[in-house]
Amino acid sequence: MTRHTHVVESNGYSRGPLIDSVRPYPDAIRFALNRLNGTSFWAYSLWRAPADADFLEDIPVSDEYMQSAGTAGALTVEVRVLDENGVAHQYTVGKPGETPTGAPAEIIRWDEGRHSTAVYPHEVFTADEAADLFYAYFQTDEVPDSYTLRELDLTR
């Protein structure tokens, strides 16, 4: 039996291990992200479980993760990391090659429109684009250097 290393969460509350028994990990991530419809399925998160996690006992949570919200056609991706002092920093991830100007104006909506966020055009991902990013995070626990990170203000 494969030892589960990562947890996935849907809509902020339904958690379980990321499995590869139905499809390989990259395909499992891509499949889930392509199901995002903004209404019944609007958010997907991924994080590494502690090495000693017993998924039969508990599904662990983490202070560090990658998450997305929206629809398969337009979603936002965020990553949360702890610095060396244990302080959380959350970032909106952007595709390489863009330098934004002005205020973010692209609106990503989810949970039947009850929630939304403004992002820059290069921060809007399709499910397939996000799947590549999530799989890289799955492998390394980091966002590849080619992507941009815009820190979010967590105090508001």
- Reported as a pLDDT band with limits 50, 70 and 90, residue 65 is very high
For the segment 61-90, the average pLDDT, to the nearest whole number, is: 96
Which pLDDT score, from 0 to 100, does residue 4 have?
A: 81
Q: Is the pLDDT of residue 128 over 60?
A: yes
In the chain, the percentage of residues whose pLDDT exceeds 70 is 98
**Which structure tokens are listed for 103?**
């205020």
Tally of domains within the chain: 1
Residue 91 lies in a domain: yes
Of 31 and 155, the one with more pLDDT: 31
pLDDT of residue 1: 46
Q: Which domain holds residue 99?
A: 6-151
In a domain, 1, yes or no: no
Rounded mean pLDDT of 39-62? 87
Confirm whether 156 is domain-assigned. Answer: no
Domain annotation covers residue 34 = yes
In a domain, 110, yes or no: yes
| DSSP conformation letters of 37-61 | BSSSS-EEEEEEPPTT--TTT----
Establish if 29 belongs to a structural domain: yes
Please provide residue 34's backbone torsions phi and psi, each rounded to the nearest 5 degrees. -75, -10
Residue 123 lies in a domain: yes
